[in-house]
């Protein structure tokens, strides 16, 4: 087939377009970390996941090791079953624990994975037994206020400097 | 049952929406002749060509080309039939994005598997026949009206058709180009053994080159004959047409209510 | 067809019925194009020619507009985010707006006015000068030979143009945010990468632009193919192409967005 300069231009255009697509995939989005890379899935159940979302990062020691791939409400245990998709490069002991954390004071929520001491590692389909739910701000505040109230009623005669009067909401 | 007649049109009626154009028209066209179809503007001449080419379906009657009823052909057969037809459109209808050479080669590329050299030679032969071999690299917008018409003619005969139709080939040409095109039509018809159908209202030029003439008016054939018969005709319509008279059976005035009453003069009575 | 001087309601009714009618005809036209696309596949050279006409020739306007849109996003985003002390998220803002919305939509609007109107004018002119009829008489199907290659040329070009638009836009934002305003280079990219998702954002953006490509080229080709063969109608058809495809892009964008980003 004969070649023309027109073909060259079209070729350049297609290359530029595909390069832009790859740029969007690799440089702009997070495809490089997980697309293609093999992974395994484990499940963890939480009493409360706060505002954790699908695709939220899973971090261990601050490094992203996977992403939340699915969240469903379990109608038998009344808990949230979260599926964790972990990169196969990283392995964790069977008794590792998962905790819903918040990055910064009001930032997005992520899942923190703390490794345990078991000699066997988590494999595909395993369940993480130790979990800690999300901190809910309202519970936190009421807990704090409740503790303060009981503290001050217990030793009202003691150090009055720290006591706060009239604490019933 | 091969007859001498390449085209037979029997009792054909056709209308756009509710406006009838052809009303049971009858024509036959012999092989190897140049036939002219004449008539005033909008009398259905072009419609007739489109019926022959199968682009329109008659509401009644049938059009036979080479013994086959055109409107009963399936799409594949119709396309096969059209490869044996060439058509020259009013202003050439050259493909504006292709050069002269590629325009003439168009059908060969689409329908044949000729080698590049063979195609090159064939195209040059066709262009030589219309005297434009030297213009092969030009683009259509670089051609004059007459040249474009000649290229279109070369394109129409590219696949050696049995029938070439010309839709107003003389419109908008200077006298020289007009003579060139007219003579080309005659020469090519004789040399290639084609049948040519000429739709035109240029009486003078066409009477010089054609073998037979049909006059169409009001959807039927008003008069027919050889050029000599037409020239000698005393029919008022033909006479008006041939001698280009302003008023006659074809009225100068569009039908209107009485002039005086339209101006309000009638009310004064 | 002509709206008479009756009341305005009757006229609106006329118009709506007509546009529904036209939509139906356009849809049937699209099916015909798809049905007769065999030639475009067998003779891909025809499609390459049209990619040049609609893709390569639109490149300059796409790149320049992408750069400016990105720079404006960078500037505006910086001003707003700075008040909350979170200018490090500038990359996220620029990239998400471009990849999800502005890239596909603005590129499609530009494509409609640059390539769409050119297609309409070209096909309309071919009809006026009887080229399409001539082709039919030469036993060549104009839909297969003229319309379908232009269709596929446009459909292939659109997502590539949108991707180029987004990528250039991100660098435009980078230029203003990082080079001029002094946002941290590392956090610009890393925050962007952690917030933009390959499948949900980038791929959905590409899907959007493919759908827009289908809509624009179908409308443009239909307007040209359906135009009355006079100069006046062609100029009207060209205007209609731009108006109709812009409306189609915005309406489709709303529909697609509500499907794609429902749970976000």
Query: For residue A163, what pLDDT is reported?
Result: 45
| Rounded Cα distance, A148 and A154, in Å | 10
Q: Could you read off the pLDDT of C130-183 as tens digits, one per residue?
A: 899 889 888 888 999 999 999 999 999 999 999 999 999 999 999 999 999 888
Confidence of residue B232 (pLDDT cuts 50, 70, 90): confident
The Cα of C195 is separated from the nearest Cα of chain B by a number of Å equal to 48
Q: Could you read off the pLDDT of B102-161 as tens digits, one per residue?
A: 999 998 888 888 888 989 999 998 898 888 888 888 998 898 888 888 899 899 888 888
Chain C residue closest to A18 (CA)? C160
Query: For residue C164, what pLDDT is reported?
Result: 96
**Is the distance from CB of C96 to CB of C204 less than 8 angstroms?**
no
The Cα of A159 is separated from the nearest Cα of chain C by a number of Å equal to 40
Give the dihedral sign, CA C39/C40/C43/C46. positive
Interface contact A13-C202, CB threshold 8 A: no
Interface contact C137-B53, CB threshold 8 A: yes
Which chains have 3+ CB pairs within 8 A of B?
C
A14-38 per-residue burial string, b: 16 or more CB within 10 A, e: under 16: bebbeebbebbbbbbbbbebeeeee
For chains B and C, count residue pairs whose Cβ atoms are closer than 8 Å: 46
Highest mean pLDDT among B75-84, B170-179, C113-122: C113-122
C231 touches chain B (CB under 8 A): no
- The average confidence (pLDDT) of chain A is 80
- The average confidence (pLDDT) of chain C is 90
Confidence of residue C106 (pLDDT cuts 50, 70, 90): very high
| Rounded Cα distance, B199 and B165, in Å | 8
Q: What's the burial of C255, exposed, middle or buried (CB within 10 Å: 0-12/13-18/19+)? A: exposed
**Three-class SS string for C170-214?**
HHHHHHHHHHHCCCCHHHHHHHHHHHCCHHHHHHHHHHHHHHHHH
Query: For residue A162, what pLDDT is reported?
Result: 47
**Is the distance from CB of B51 to CB of B63 less than 8 angstroms?**
yes
Q: Could you read off the pLDDT of C47-84 as tens digits, one per residue?
A: 999 999 999 999 999 999 999 999 999 999 999 988 88
Query: For residue B188, what pLDDT is reported?
Result: 86
Query: For residue B113, what pLDDT is reported?
Result: 86
Task: Calculate the dihedral angle through the C-alpha atoms of C95, C96, C100, C103, rounding to the nearest 10 degrees.
Answer: -30
Interface contact C193-A13, CB threshold 8 A: no
| Rounded Cα distance, C156 and C41, in Å | 13
Predicted interface score ipTM higher than 0.90: no
More confident residue, B171 or C158: C158
Confidence of residue B2 (pLDDT cuts 50, 70, 90): low
The Cα of A54 is separated from the nearest Cα of chain C by a number of Å equal to 10
Catalogue all structural domains in chain B, each as residue range(s) with its CATH number.
Answer: 5-233 (3.40.50.300), 234-269 (no CATH)
Q: Give the count of alpha carbons within 13 A of A67, CB side only.
A: 16
Interface contact C130-B89, CB threshold 8 A: yes
Angle at B135 between CA B133 and CA B140, to 5 degrees: 130
**Is the distance from CB of C100 to CB of C202 less than 8 angstroms?**
no
Structure tokens belonging to residue B18: 């509710």
Give the contacts of C135 (CB within 8 A, at least 6 positions apart): B95, C141, C142, C145, C146
Q: Could you read off the pLDDT of A86-112 as tens digits, one per residue?
A: 888 888 898 889 988 887 665 678 888
C20 touches chain B (CB under 8 A): no
């Amino acid at each position: 087939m004969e070649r023309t300069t027109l073909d060259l231009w079209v070729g350049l255009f297609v290359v530029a377009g595909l390069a832009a697509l790859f740029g969007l995939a690799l440089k702009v989005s997070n495809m490089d970390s997980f697309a293609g890379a093999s992974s395994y899935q484990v499940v963890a159940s939480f009493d409360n996941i706060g505002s954790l979302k699908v695709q939220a990062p899973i971090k261990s020691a601050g490094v992203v090791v996977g992403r939340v791939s699915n969240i469903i409400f379990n109608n038998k245990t009344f808990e949230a079953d979260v599926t964790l998709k972990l990169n196969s490069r990283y392995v964790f002991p069977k008794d590792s624990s998962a905790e819903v954390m918040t990055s910064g004071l009001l930032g997005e929520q992520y899942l923190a994975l703390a490794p345990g001491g078991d000699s066997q590692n988590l494999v595909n389909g395993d369940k993480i037994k130790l979990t800690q739910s999300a901190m809910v701000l309202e519970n936190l505040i009421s807990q704090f206020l409740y503790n303060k109230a009981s503290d001050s009623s217990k030793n009202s005669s003691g150090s009055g400097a720290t006591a706060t009067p009239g604490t019933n909401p | 049952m091969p007859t001498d007649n390449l085209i037979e049109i029997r009792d054909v009626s056709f209308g756009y929406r509710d406006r009838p154009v052809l009303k049971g028209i009858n024509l036959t066209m012999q092989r190897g002749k140049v036939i002219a179809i004449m008539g005033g503007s909008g009398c259905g001449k072009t419609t007739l060509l489109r019926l022959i080419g199968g682009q329109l379906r008659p509401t009644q009657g049938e059009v036979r080309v080479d013994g086959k009823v055109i409107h009963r052909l399936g799409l594949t057969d119709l396309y096969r039939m059209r490869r044996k037809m060439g058509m020259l459109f009013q202003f050439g209808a050259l493909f504006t994005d292709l050069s002269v050479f590629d325009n003439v080669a168009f059908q060969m590329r689409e329908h044949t598997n000729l080698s590049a050299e063979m195609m090159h030679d064939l195209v040059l032969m066709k262009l030589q026949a219309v005297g434009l071999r030297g213009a092969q690299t030009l683009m259509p917008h670089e051609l004059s009206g007459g040249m474009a018409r000649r290229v279109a003619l070369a394109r129409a005969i590219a696949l050696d058709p049995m029938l070439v139709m010309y839709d107003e080939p003389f419109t908008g040409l200077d006298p020289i180009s007009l003579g060139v095109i007219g003579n080309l039509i005659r020469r090519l018809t004789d040399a290639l053994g084609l049948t040519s159908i000429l739709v035109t209202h240029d009486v003078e030029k066409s009477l010089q080159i054609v073998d037979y003439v049909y006059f169409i008016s009001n959807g039927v054939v008003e008069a027919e004959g050889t050029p000599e018969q037409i020239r000698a005709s005393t029919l008022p319509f033909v006479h008006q047409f041939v001698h280009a008279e302003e008023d006659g059976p074809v009225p100068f005035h569009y039908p209107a209510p009485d002039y005086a009453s339209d101006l309000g003069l009638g009310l004064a009575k | 067809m002509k709206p008479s001087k009756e009341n305005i309601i009757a006229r609106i009714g006329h118009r709506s019925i007509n546009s529904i009618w036209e939509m139906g005809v356009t849809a049937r036209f699209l099916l015909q194009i798809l049905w007769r696309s065999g030639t475009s596949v067998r003779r891909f050279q025809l499609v390459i020619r049209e990619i040049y006409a609609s893709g390569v020739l639109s490149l300059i306007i796409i790149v320049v507009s992408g750069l400016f849109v990105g720079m404006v996003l960078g500037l505006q985003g910086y001003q707003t985010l700075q008040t909350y002390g979170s200018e490090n998220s500038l990359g996220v803002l620029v990239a998400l707006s471009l990849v999800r919305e502005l890239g596909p939509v603005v590129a499609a609007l530009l494509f409609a006015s640059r390539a769409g109107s050119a297609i309409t004018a070209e096909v309309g002119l071919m009809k006026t000068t009887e080229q399409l009829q001539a082709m039919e008489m030469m036993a060549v199907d104009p839909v297969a030979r003229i319309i379908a290659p232009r269709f596929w040329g446009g459909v292939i070009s659109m997502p590539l143009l949108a991707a180029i638009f987004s990528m250039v836009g991100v660098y435009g934002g980078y230029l203003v945010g990082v080079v001029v305003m002094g946002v941290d280079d590392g956090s610009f990219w890393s925050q962007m990468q952690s917030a933009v998702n390959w499948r949900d954002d980038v791929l959905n953006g590409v899907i959007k632009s493919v759908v827009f490509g289908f809509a624009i080229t179908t409308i443009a080709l239909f307007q040209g193919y359906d135009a009355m063969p006079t100069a006046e109608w062609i100029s009207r058809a060209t205007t209609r192409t731009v108006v109709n495809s812009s409306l189609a892009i915005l309406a489709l964008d709303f529909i697609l967005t509500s499907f794609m980003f429902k749970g976000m």
